[in-house]
């Protein structure tokens, strides 16, 4: 496959550059740049090829068939690239390679590049082990399409932002290792490391926040934060890179801190890979609400993790004697002490999150697997966070003048975020049955359920409510067979916060199935049906594409002829429900026998009946939740401002 | 002084994290173990489709079936039926078994759906 050949080219040149950087004392800059850019070129080519395959609807490729379909809107065809594990690894590699090419042009130290491109080679191997270019073992005419839950703007942009963060965190790691391997006493790398880590931190943060915002505006994900392994595995590197940032800044002034700065760089990047291992190896299959498909790639990621962690610590161990010795702070009243203490508190929080998310793995090693619940995280991190807040306020008051503008903005954003987390959790939550057009009072709001509306093509359904007279709708995306595929709440936003309305799917038990034989009269209790004719269209490969039935329905007086169809799709079929006899009946064709002699019809509640149904609804208020979105944006903004100092 | 401070801080943290962890950790067990244990556990199983699911105003109950042995256990969950319950291929109930009403009282239900993140494989 061309895609794998491109990846192989990317791997070969990345490995070649690694060898060049370690074997040569002083390789020519043009050779380095040429090799780095060629490697990136191959990887860009393989990525463009994957997009091309997706846009060409090439379902002969398993990945394309699993995550795309011919009807998928353009935006989601772009994001189908990273909808699955194979593609998200390729995305990571792509961003890593582009950053690598930039590093080579910026004349980064040779050994640093050597480390960076070693990681690039490892990532390329991971992509090749589970390649998105594998041919599809079965022949399909249509793809499954992107999970409707992921068909959302925020979910489309969330993975690239996170992976930019992950890829960028390799830079401070490579800089740290490169420095240890050459001029241990030099401080020059710290300025570069500071900028790259700030950039990485703002992207990683933005990725987490976007993911949280998305999780808030869909149902079934447990709100903006659920302490799920997938969420935790990005939180731990975010916390540790915050520590790394502070230590880099501190060691520029106090060089005796450089040792633990190297330790922080090693652990930060190790935990990026560890998180990937935990969530992508399938090892947590039983413990996460995110069902990731299990994979054979676990061992490979674990090896990569060991390489970074053990390799990094070994290099540090052998160079430790050359590092500057000395006190990290003179007295407790110094700013250095406050910063170091703050770092320690953040590490404590990171350790707690790490312990919680690793518990299934750790307990499995010693015996019976076990897990912790969300309360563990909240209960354990809250007191430490409270001390951290006090420390930040104290540092602001006492040492405010040494904090840069960007730093001030980011810290204010951080405090705002914590305040918003606490305040927004103080709302009320009520679950009860909502009858159409009946007013229910929740936390001072008048809420009325107005019934359901269907979108044009019956792939969407809306639960309509009014909150204090203002109309809001909760969208439910439907599958081809009419069942719920993805659900969203109705949210009324204003200054005091959100009113968050989550309708629960009604139990439709009144569905009746009618089996009809050609030209025979059938009854559903009230109305008569005659199945008159049927037709199945086949494609060139003699596979059914579309089935049509001709049925006459009568209430005794009026006769109505309908021609419902079933269109075959990869995930089954799509059959539109049809309203007949002026909305008195709603039916959907669900099957035709291959000899065209029998047809099956589903008798559904009419739209009017559906709209009159009582809907169990959970209503909650989220006071000042906008402060959370504002604060996290302020954190990212402050961090970006801090880059240019 | 500096070292003592750090050691005290670290020891304090280890103790603190350890106590919290010990309180929160719930083992993954089979239905039989959950019934003999009585303490806080997590049980994974399938929905037994032969037994009724029931929703009263504040309690949802169903029967959980062990995938391997086929044993069943009635589960009572304080709350309403979770979204996507009907599509679940696995259900994890977190709580403890009460022998007085011969049922598992779940504080939390984890619903695991095959299509939640990764797509389903196309059928041949």
Q: Which residue has the higher pLDDT, B40 or A247?
A: A247
CB spacing of A293 vs B118 below 8 angstroms: yes
A interface test, pick of B82, B91, B112, B118 with most A CB neighbours within 10 Å: B118
B111/A359 CB distance under 8 A: no
**Residue A480, min C-alpha distance to chain B (Å):** 15
Contacts of A619 in chain B (CB under 8 A): none
**pLDDT tens digit sequence for A297-313:** 777 888 888 899 999 99
Residues of A in contact with B87 (CB under 8 A): 483
Residues of B in contact with A376 (CB under 8 A): 20-21, 23-25
A632 located within any domain: no
Query: Same domain, yes or no, for A348 and A435?
Result: no
Name the percent of chain A lying above pLDDT 90: 55
Best mutation target among B5, B12, B20, B88 (most A Cβ atoms within 10 Å) is: B20
Closest partner residue to A140 (CB to CB) among B29, B81, B122 is B122
By CA distance, what is A150's nearest residue in B?
B117
Mean pLDDT, range B59-74, rounded to an integer:
86
Count of domains in chain A? 4
Of A351, A369, A372, the CB nearest to B24: A372
Phi, then psi, of A626 in degrees rounded to 5: -60, -25
The pLDDT-based confidence of A374 (bands split at 50, 70, 90) is confident
pLDDT confidence of residue B121: 31
Q: Which residues of B touch A83 (CB under 8 A)?
A: 119
**A289 pLDDT more than 60:** no
The answer to whether residue A392 sits within a structural domain is no
Chain B positions with Cβ closer than 8 Å to A: 2, 9, 13, 16-17, 20-21, 23-29, 42, 44, 79-81, 83-84, 87, 90, 92, 94, 108, 110-124
For residue A484, what pLDDT is reported?
78
- As a whole number, mean pLDDT of residues A414-434 equals 93
Cβ-defined contact of A286 to B27 (cutoff 8 Å):
no
The verdict on A120 and A241 lying in the same domain is no
Sequence-separated (6 or more) residues with CB below 8 Å from residue A135: A1, A60, A61, A62
Nearest chain A CA: its distance from B15 CA (Å): 12
* pLDDT at res. B2: 74
Residues of B in contact with A618 (CB under 8 A): 80
Contact by Cβ (8 Å): A176, A152: no
- Each residue's pLDDT tens digit, A527-575: 888 888 888 888 777 777 888 889 988 888 888 888 888 887 665 677 8
Residue A345 has pLDDT above 90, yes or no: yes
Q: Are residues A585 and A542 in the same domain?
A: yes
* Neighboring chain B residues of A347 at a CB cutoff of 8 Å: none
Task: Count the Cβ atoms, other than its own, within 10 Å of residue B101.
Answer: 10
Q: Find out if CATH 3.40.50.300 is the number for domain B28-112.
A: no
Query: Taking CB atoms and an 8 Å limit, are B21 and A219 in contact across chains?
Result: no
Is B94 in contact with A373 (Cβ distance < 8 A)? yes
- The nearest CA of chain B is from the CA of A38 a distance in Å of 33
Strand partners, B110: B92
* pLDDT at position B114: 54
Could you tell me where the DSSP H helices lie in A330-402? 335-366, 374-399
Distance from CA of B113 to the nearest CA of A (A): 7
Confidence bin at A197 (pLDDT 50/70/90) = very high
From the list B13, B83, B119, the residue facing A487 with the nearest CB is: B83
pLDDT digits (tens, 9 = 90+) for A2-15: 999 999 999 999 99
Interface contact A291-B25, CB threshold 8 A: no
Residue A84 clears pLDDT 80, i.e. is over it? yes
Residue B20 with chain A: CB contacts under 8 Å: 352, 376, 379-380
In a shared domain, residues A470 and A366: no
10 Å CB burial of residue A576 (0-12, 13-18, 19+) is middle
CB B83 within 8 A of CB A49: no
- Secondary structure letter of residue B81 according to DSSP: P
Last residue of a domain, one of A344, A379, A414: A379
Give A289 to chain B, closest Cα distance, Å: 6
CB contact under 8 Å between B80 and A504, yes or no, is: yes
In a domain, A278, yes or no: yes
Cα A457 to the center of its chain, rounded Å: 28
Confidence of residue B124 (pLDDT cuts 50, 70, 90): very low
Considering the domain architecture, whether residues A498 and A516 belong to the same structural domain is answered as no
Same domain, A444 and A345: no
Average pLDDT in the B37-41 region? 79
Cα of first residue to Cα of last residue in chain B, in angstroms, is 70
What token pair was written down for B29?
């067990």
The lowest-confidence range among A210-224, A386-400, A477-491, A620-634 is: A477-491
pLDDT of residue A509: 57
* Distance from C-alpha of B104 to C-alpha of B95, rounded to nearest angstrom: 7
Q: State the distance between the two ends of chain A, measured CA to CA, in whole angstroms.
A: 48
> Is residue A416 included in any domain, yes or no?
no
What is the least distance, in Å, from the CA of A376 to any CA of chain B?
6
Which of A96, A119, A149 is the endpoint of a domain? A149
- Domain ranges (residues) in chain B: 28-112
- What integer pLDDT is reported at residue A5 of this predicted model? 95
Q: Do B44 and A140 touch (CB under 8 A)?
A: no
Of B79, B81, B122, the CB nearest to A66: B122
Cβ separation A368–B13 shorter than 8 A: no
Residues 6+ apart with CB under 8 A from A643: A195, A198, A199, A406
Say if residue A374 is exposed, middle or buried (CB neighbours under 10 Å; 0-12, 13-18, 19+). middle
Domain that holds residue A530: 512-604
A147·B113 Cβ contact <8 A: no
State the average pLDDT for chain A: 89
List of chain A residues whose C-beta atoms are within 8 Å of the C-beta of residue B108: 373
Q: Give me the mean pLDDT over the A130-150 stretch.
A: 85
- Chain A with chain B: Cβ pairs closer than 8 A: 118
Contact flag A84-B21 (C-beta cutoff 8 Å):
no
State which residue of chain A sits closest to B30, comparing Cα positions: A368
């Amino acid at each position: 496959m061309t895609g794998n050949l491109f990846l192989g080219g990317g791997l070969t040149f990345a490995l070649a550059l690694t060898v060049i950087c370690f074997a040569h004392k002083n390789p020519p800059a043009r050779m380095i740049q040429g090799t780095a850019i060629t490697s990136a070129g191959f990887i860009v080519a393989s990525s463009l090829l994957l997009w091309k395959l997706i846009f060409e609807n090439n379902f002969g490729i398993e990945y394309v068939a699993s995550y795309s379909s011919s009807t998928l809107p353009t935006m989601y065809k772009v994001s189908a690239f990273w909808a699955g594990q194979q593609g998200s690894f390729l995305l990571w590699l792509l961003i890593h390679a582009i950053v690598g090419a930039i590093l080579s042009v910026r004349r980064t130290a040779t050994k640093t590049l050597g480390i960076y491109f070693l990681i690039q080679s490892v990532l390329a191997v991971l992509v090749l082990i589970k390649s998105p270019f594998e041919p599809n073992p079965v022949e399909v005419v249509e793809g499954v399409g992107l999970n409707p839950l992921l068909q959302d703007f925020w979910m489309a942009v969330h993975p690239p932002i996170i992976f930019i963060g992950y890829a960028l965190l390799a830079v401070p790691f490579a800089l740290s290792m490169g420095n240890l391997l050459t001029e241990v006493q030099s401080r020059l790398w710290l300025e570069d490391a500071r900028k790259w880590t700030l950039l990485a931190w703002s992207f990683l943060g933005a990725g987490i926040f976007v993911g949280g915002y998305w999780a808030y505006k869909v149902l079934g994900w447990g709100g903006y934060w659920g302490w799920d392994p997938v969420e935790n595995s990005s939180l731990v590197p975010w916390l540790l890179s915050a520590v790394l940032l502070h230590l880099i800044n501190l060691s520029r002034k106090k060089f005796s801190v450089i040792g633990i700065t190297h330790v922080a760089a090693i652990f930060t990047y190790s935990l990026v890979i560890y998180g990937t291992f935990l969530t992508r190896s399938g090892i947590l299959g039983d413990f996460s609400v995110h069902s990731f498909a299990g994979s054979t790639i676990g061992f490979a990621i674990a090896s990569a993790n060991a390489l970074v962690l053990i390799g990094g610590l070994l290099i540090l161990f052998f160079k430790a004697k050359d590092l500057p010795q000395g006190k990290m702070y003179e007295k407790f009243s110094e700013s250095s002490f406050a910063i170091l203490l703050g770092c320690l508190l953040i590490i404590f929080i990171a350790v707690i999150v790490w312990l919680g998310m690793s518990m299934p793995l750790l307990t499995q090693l010693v015996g019976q697997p076990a897990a912790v619940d969300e309360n563990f995280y909240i209960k354990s991190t809250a007191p430490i966070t409270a001390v951290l807040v006090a420390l930040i306020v104290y540092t602001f008051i006492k040492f405010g003048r040494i904090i840069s503008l960007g730093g001030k903005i980011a810290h204010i954003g951080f405090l705002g975020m914590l305040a918003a987390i606490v305040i927004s959790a103080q709302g009320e939550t009520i679950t009860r049955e909502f009858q159409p057009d009946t007013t229910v009072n929740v936390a001072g709001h008048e809420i009325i359920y107005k019934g359901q509306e269907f979108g044009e093509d019956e792939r969407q359904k809306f639960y309509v409510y009014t909150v204090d007279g203002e109309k809001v709708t909760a969208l439910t995306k439907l599958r081809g067979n009419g069942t719920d595929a993805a659900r969203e709440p109705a949210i009324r936003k204003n200054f005091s916060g959100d009113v968050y309305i989550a309708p629960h799917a009604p139990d439709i038990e009144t569905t009746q199935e009618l089996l009809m034989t050609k030209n025979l009269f059938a009854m559903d209790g009230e109305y008569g049906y005659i199945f008159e004719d049927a037709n199945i269209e086949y494609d060139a490969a003699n596979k059914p594409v579309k089935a049509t039935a001709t049925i006459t329905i009568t209430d005794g007086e009026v006769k109505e002829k309908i021609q419902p169809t079933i269109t075959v799709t990869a995930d089954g079929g799509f059959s539109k429900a049809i309203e007949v006899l002026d909305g008195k009946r709603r039916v959907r064709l669900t099957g035709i026998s291959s000899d065209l002699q029998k047809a099956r019809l589903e008798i559904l509640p009419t739209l009017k009946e559906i709209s009159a149904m009582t809907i169990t609804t959970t209503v909650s208020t989220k006071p000042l939740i906008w402060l959370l979105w504002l604060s996290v944006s302020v954190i990212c903004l402050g961090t970006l401002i801090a880059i240019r100092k | 002084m500096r070292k003592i401070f750090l050691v005290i801080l670290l020891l304090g943290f280890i103790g603190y994290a350890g106590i919290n962890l010990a309180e929160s950790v719930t083992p993954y067990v089979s239905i039989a173990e959950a019934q003999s244990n009585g303490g806080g556990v997590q049980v994974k199983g399938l929905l037994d489709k032969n037994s009724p699911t029931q929703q009263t105003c504040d309690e949802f109950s169903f029967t959980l079936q062990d995938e391997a042995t086929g044993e069943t256990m009635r589960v009572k969950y304080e709350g309403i039926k979770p979204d996507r319950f009907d599509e679940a291929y696995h259900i994890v109930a977190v709580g403890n078994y009460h022998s007085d009403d011969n049922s598992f009282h779940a504080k939390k239900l984890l619903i695991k759906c095959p299509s939640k993140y990764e797509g389903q494989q196309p059928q041949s």
